[in-house]
Amino acid sequence: MRLKIGILTAAAAMLGVALFNRSAWAWGPGIHTVTALGVLSDLQSILPYIAEAIRAFPREFIYGCLAADFFVGKGVRSASRHPHNWDGGFAFLRGAGDDRERSFAYGFLSHLAADVVAHNIFVPEIIARQKERTLRGHVYAEILADYTVGAGYLRFARALLSQDLSECDHLIRTVSFEGGGRMKARKGLFKGGMRFSGYFFTTRDMLGGGKMDINTSNAISASVALSCEMVKDFLKRPFSAPCTMIDPMGPRSEGLIAHASDVWSKRALLFNRIKRYSYKWYQ
């Protein structure tokens, strides 16, 4: 029995290393579920025609917020090779044939908006706090954030992924040019990563059995709140939102932020807010 448990634990760890390298998730599925539900609870704050599609197909929207991370190792900018980028996200929107698929596409794009905060602000700063820059770095930041919001959101995401969302899967295959077998494998790997995260909820291994410090907790709270704002700001103006000027894969770039502020001077307040949160929690 102990041998079996040891093998399973080792397998989970190996899966985690495969899934959670530097180009893996930014926010985990728990946080992306939080940002999706944040939109659903405040639909009056986004564009009416987008709100109408999301209101009619909320499952598909949440699924889109999760499905972007089916693409492990997504550090490729070109949409022709990998859809986890702004070009790829808008390709889903162009390929959507009805409100169901549009709701999914806006979820996918919302995921990218949230990742702008995660990969450009939150993850680099959390990694900088850690002495170890390997597994207990990027992975630590992602799982720690999911841990902070609670296991309920991770369970919610797992339950959603068990439902039939085949129309959205068809859109994914069409835009990403992937066959059903490869798509199924990607989805399976993503679910395996969620089980890996769930292991740490149970064992608290990522925290060493203890509690996180207050500064880290505050940093997570501020970054998640900012991600929710970023997503809603995108859904208010999807074709001119400042976040679309910033690579959702990072790394943090003051040059990009300054450039976007110059292009959209009226959006400067958003970037000032980013810097204010960053200064408050990361100094």
In tens, the pLDDT along 170-189 reads 998 888 756 555 666 566 56
Range of the domain at 10: 1-278
Q: Is residue 283, in this structure, part of any structural domain at all? A: no
- Region of residue 47 (phi > 0: left; psi between -120 and 50: alpha; otherwise: beta): beta
| 48, 54, 56, 61: CA torsion to nearest 10 | 170
The amino acid that residue 67 corresponds to is A
As a whole number of Å, the CA-based R_g of the chain is 18
Q: Is residue 26, in this structure, part of any structural domain at all? A: yes
Rounded CA-CA distance 132/79 in Å is 33
The tokens for 266 are: 């009226």
Q: Is residue 86, in this structure, part of any structural domain at all? A: yes
Q: Is residue 121, in this structure, part of any structural domain at all? A: yes
pLDDT at 129: 62
Residues 6+ apart with CB under 8 A from 85: 74, 76, 77, 78, 79, 112, 247, 248, 249
Rounded CA-CA distance 18/24 in Å is 9
Write down the pTM of the prediction: 0.72
pLDDT digits (tens, 9 = 90+) for 135-162: 455 556 666 666 666 678 888 888 888 8
> Which residue ranges of the chain lie beneath pLDDT 70?
1-26, 72-82, 123-150, 177-214, 251-283
Count of domains for the chain: 1
The tokens for 114 are: 């949230």
Q: Is residue 24, in this structure, part of any structural domain at all? A: yes
